[in-house]
Chains A and B, each alone.
Chain A
Amino acid sequence: MHRLSIAVVAALVAALTVVSLSAAAHQRTHAKHHHPHRIVSLSPTVTEDLFAIGAGRQVVAVDNQSNYPKRAPQTSLSGYDPNVEAIANFHPDLVVISYDPGNFASQLRQLGIKVVFEAAATNLKEAYREILGLGRLTGHNRGANAVVRSMRRHLAAIVASVPTTRRHLRVYHELDPTYYSATSQTFIGSVYKLFGFRDIADAAGGTGGGYPQLSGEYIIAKDPQIIVLADTKCCRQSYGSVSTRPGWGTIAAVEHHRVVTANDDVASRWGPRIVQFARTVARLAKQD
């Protein structure tokens, strides 16, 4: 009796294994045909992610802000003020968005188009999760895994290269010349947290959804030791323009020339290029 039941269980297990294996195999071949091959990306970060993981050839159109990589098929499509008809005109089988004004996504879905929403990441973990998700979605799991692994490895090395004495610098991240900044609750803030920097915008708390406008006098009094300008493209800010602002000459970051002129785009996205950004920040942090 006992032996019989063991045999039955073994047979059942074997049968189930065969069934599930064949099902998985079937699914894999099946899925291969169903990976989207006409992707429209309306998010500059998603565009960068897709090309980094090797899904670039499946992308037929990207929005007007997706300026990287160069080979991305940039169109006049807008991600801020999207036009459903213009998007449908590309006959996409997948539209990826990071902003959903009105009932734009549901309108696309009514047309039978798959829509995936990738919200703005607020830390590296979320950014990695989005890259891996895009990998699964497009059939580039390995590419996505490789990108995330490389990001993790490089960021760890970059942070480790900064001596511990420079790990607690007071940082001021500037979004525009009227002193809009970013707190630790934002993606870019989480990168500073990685270094151990103290973000002076944190005192503003949740004001402005993590992007508060700081008082000029507060910035001067806080005396940041490193300043990151993410308004070099939009507003042509530079070390020169910052150092001539009234009262800014006394700031430690200005005195020690620790003013990072970042690429606005890289600093406002949550894609793989954040590694380059971190490298520039690290170089300035190490500088004497």
Chain B
Amino acid sequence: MATTAGRAEAAPAPTPRVEARGVGLRTGLVTLAFLIAALAVGLAVGPVHVGIGSILRSALSYVPFLHVQQPLGAVDHAVIWQLRAPRVALAALVGGMLAVAGASYQGVFRNPLCDPYLLGVAGGAGLGATLAIVYASAATAGSTWTVPLAAFAGAIAAVVVTYALGRSVGATHMTGALVLAGVTMATFTAAVQTFVQQQHTQQLQNIYSWLLGGFSTATWHDVAICAPYIAVSSLVLVLHRRVLDVLSLGDDEAASLGIDVPRARLAIVVAATLGTAAAVSVSGLIAFVGIIVPHTIRLLVSTSYRAVVPLSLIAGAGFLVVTDVVARTVLSPAELPIGVVTAFLGAPFFAIVLRTSRAVR
């Protein structure tokens, strides 16, 4: 209650409502049900038809002491557990991460248009991946580690430079300066990336399919690479959900409420960036998830970060799993780049968000 009063005094203009409630039990359960349904559909639907019953029995056959017979043949088994399952798992991890990172960035920078790529993650990762594809030596090129590692390193490097650039302006205009520095960084890395790509047109196809992003070649190995980062990052962000609510009131107000603003902001930005970099390094650049999902939660549930952060995590995971199902079935057996699907759904949605942006912070 005190926070609402403080907010009203500081900036009376358009007053976005900060609700004191967290996630209601029912909303939480509904969102969780959406994720579970998405995972089930993700596992059941694909170009190869395998009955949901056999998939279920196949899963149960792994539970010890149940003595369920493995019903799937070698091919179906490989399709479900070596191709589709890691794909679903990776889509869920990446979707959850991008959505929660987007929500957190929007809170920290008090800008509804912020997305997880704000500080140059996408450009840096794209450049890193391009360099790895083009210049990787014969010894390392066959490794499944090279491109993700290079993308991860590129993303982190770009954000570190962005942060240094933004900080040099001083703490008072930090958020605005960071956003500008991010745009600068994105433009610069895109320029270098395009140059390298133009010099190696024979690799164009490779670079392009990485940039478009997707889960068509997801393996358990990819899941294992990114899962630790995503788990830690999203945990940190979920724990900071109250801090995000306070930060959204403004730096001065937050400071007066006893929050170490620079430190809190750094923790959130580092967590969001690290998680996003890990997600991008295994999935490529997938647009709009970080914007659509948090805004949907704001419109449907609450503008409080206590609701937006955890619900974005769950709904983002479900959303990207469903999007990936569309990507692999709509033109089956051909794949549609997932970025096309997210943007195709995202662009019209974005128009709605803009039209109703008074209700959104």
Contact = CB atoms under 8 A, between A and B. Distances in A.
B164 interface: no
A236 B78 contact: no
A145 interface: no
Contacts of B216: 178-179, 213, 215-216
Most interface-central of B201, B202, B217 (chain A CB within 10 A): B202
Most interface-central of B83, B138, B219 (chain A CB within 10 A): B83
A156 B206 CA distance: 34
A92 interface: no
A207 B334 contact: yes
Interface stretch (A26-34, A162-170, A218-226): A218-226
B332 A216 contact: no
A77 to B, nearest CB: 12
B75 A204 contact: no
B86 to A, nearest CB: 8
A241 interface: yes
Interface string B304-341: 00000000000000000000000010011111010000
Contacts, number: 104
Contact of B83 (A212, A213, A216, A222): A216
Interface of B is mostly: helix
Interface residues of A, number: 37
Interface residues of B, number: 35
Given A216-B217, A217-B84, A235-B141, 11 more contacts: A65-B202, A80-B198, A179-B216, A213-B337, A214-B333, A215-B47, A218-B333, A220-B48, A221-B76, A234-B206, A246-B220
B331 A207 contact: yes
B84 A180 contact: no
Nearest to A211: B205
Contacts of B219: 246
A100 interface: no
Interface of B: 46-48, 74-76, 78-79, 82-84, 86, 138, 141-142, 198, 201-206, 209, 214, 216-217, 219-220, 328, 331-335, 337
A42 to B, nearest CB: 12
Given A204-B334, A223-B75, A247-B82, A218 B48 contact: yes
Interface in A49-65: 64-65
29 contacts: A80-B198, A175-B205, A176-B209, A178-B216, A179-B217, A180-B205, A204-B334, A212-B331, A212-B333, A212-B334, A213-B209, A213-B335, A214-B333, A214-B334, A215-B46, A215-B216, A216-B83, A217-B47, A218-B332, A220-B48, A220-B75, A220-B79, A223-B75, A234-B206, A235-B206, A241-B142, A246-B86, A247-B78, A250-B78
A177 interface: yes
Contact of B198 (A81, A236, A246): A81
Contact of B138 (A204, A213, A236): A236
